[in-house]
Amino acid sequence: MLAVDIGGTSVKCLASGETRVRTVRSGRRMTPAQMVQAVQKRAAGWSFDAVSLGYPGRVGAAGPVTEPPNLGPGWVGFDFAAAFGMPLRIVNDATMQALGSYDGGRMLFLGFGTGVGSVLIVDHSVVPLELGELEWKGRKFYERFGRPAFDRLGSARWRRDVLATIPWLQRSFLADYVVLGGGNAKSIGEPLPPNVRIGHNLTAFRGGYRLWGIDQAHTGHGEERRRPPEAWRFL
């Protein structure tokens, strides 16, 4: 199993059973064909027969439905499975990270990167959200909490606004806990509100494995623990 996390500055990949993430630079000129070629080259020597993609944009049943703002053109309508030459599943990047962060119950995932990613998981039912479209004090969340706001406001004020917002989002969604991810999550730091934690960088890859029913890529005994893929419901 190969899990690929596509970002605006880099593409990260990790095969199940491996321990070291491999990275490819991306950027505004990277097309999907170039991404596939770069990942295949970077994953040389790994053994896998299926691929999971975390895509930085909206995803429908047939794949991406919007073009990513920080990559090249041509992602909507591209046949990723044919390009990789093997079975493939693709979800939004925030969904893949949320899937890997889930520990049961009701979890709200908030991803602070270029924009604001958001996912609710309730008893293994995955509900993608668009909380970035909510407005607070005259600005939408993605304008107030995305990377441009971080750069404009500075880390201290940005962190204060984020921490003021998380508790009422948690109450609104009746979430048992909140997981924070994305490139700017590390800038939030401690202390955090009760039942809020920072997600680990490797959770996106765990989420990619879980798309295929692999609940843990590697146990201490070299075995894979599997959950039937139908146990995860994507709404």
- pLDDT (tens digit, 9 = 90+) per residue, 139-151? 899 898 988 888 9
- Exposure string over 29-42, b if 16+ CB within 10 A, otherwise e: ebebebbbebbeeb
Query: Over 50: is that where the pLDDT of 221 sits?
Result: no
* Gap between the Cα atoms of 43 and 59, Å rounded: 24
The ranges assigned to domains in the chain are 2-95+202-234, 103-198
More confident residue, 231 or 106: 106
CATH number for the 2-95+202-234 domain, one of 3.40.228.10, 3.40.50.300, 3.30.420.40, 3.80.10.10? Answer: 3.30.420.40
Query: Over 70: is that where the pLDDT of 17 sits?
Result: yes
Encoded tokens for 127: 């509900």
Report, as an integer, the average pLDDT of 230-235: 76
User: Is the peptide bond prior to 191 cis by the omega test (within 30 degrees of 0)?
Assistant: yes
Report, as an integer, the average pLDDT of 100-109: 96
- Output the pLDDT for position 18: 93
Query: Over 90: is that where the pLDDT of 30 sits?
Result: yes
Report, as an integer, the average pLDDT of 143-161: 89
More confident residue, 183 or 171: 171
Q: Is the dihedral of CA 67, 186, 198, 21 positive or negative?
A: positive
Backbone angles phi, psi at 182, to 5 degrees: 90, 165
CATH topology agreement for domains 2-95+202-234 and 103-198: yes
Q: What is the DSSP string of 63-89?
A: EESS--TTS-S--TT--HHHHHTS-EE
pLDDT classification of 220: cutoffs 50, 70, 90: very low
- Could you tell me if 102 and 93 are in contact, meaning their C-beta atoms sit under 8 angstroms apart? no
Report, as an integer, the average pLDDT of 38-53: 97
- Output the pLDDT for position 195: 96
Residue 101, exposed/middle/buried by CB under 10 A (0-12, 13-18, 19+)?
buried
Query: Over 90: is that where the pLDDT of 196 sits?
Result: yes
Query: Over 90: is that where the pLDDT of 231 sits?
Result: no
CB contact set of 115 (below 8 Å; sequence gap of 6+): 132, 142, 146, 147
Report the number of secondary-structure helices (H) and strands (E) in the chain.
7, 17
Report, as an integer, the average pLDDT of 97-107: 95
What fold is seen in the domain 103-198?
Answer: Nucleotidyltransferase; domain 5 (3.30.420)
- Output the pLDDT for position 216: 57
* Gap between the Cα atoms of 96 and 102, Å rounded: 10
- Output the pLDDT for position 115: 84
Report, as an integer, the average pLDDT of 87-104: 95
Q: Where are the beta strands (DSSP E) in the chain?
A: 2-6, 10-15, 22-25, 51-55, 59-60, 63-64, 88-92, 106-112, 116-122, 125-129, 135-136, 139-140, 177-181, 196-198, 214-216, 225-226, 233-234
For the segment 63-82, what is each residue's pLDDT rounded down to a tens digit? Answer: 999 999 889 999 999 999 99
More confident residue, 208 or 61: 208
Residues paired with residue 117 on neighbouring β-strands, in sequence order: 111
Query: Over 90: is that where the pLDDT of 219 sits?
Result: no
- Output the pLDDT for position 222: 43
pTM of the model: 0.88
- Could you tell me if 170 and 100 are in contact, meaning their C-beta atoms sit under 8 angstroms apart? no
pLDDT mean across residues, the chain: 90
- Could you tell me if 63 and 78 are in contact, meaning their C-beta atoms sit under 8 angstroms apart? yes
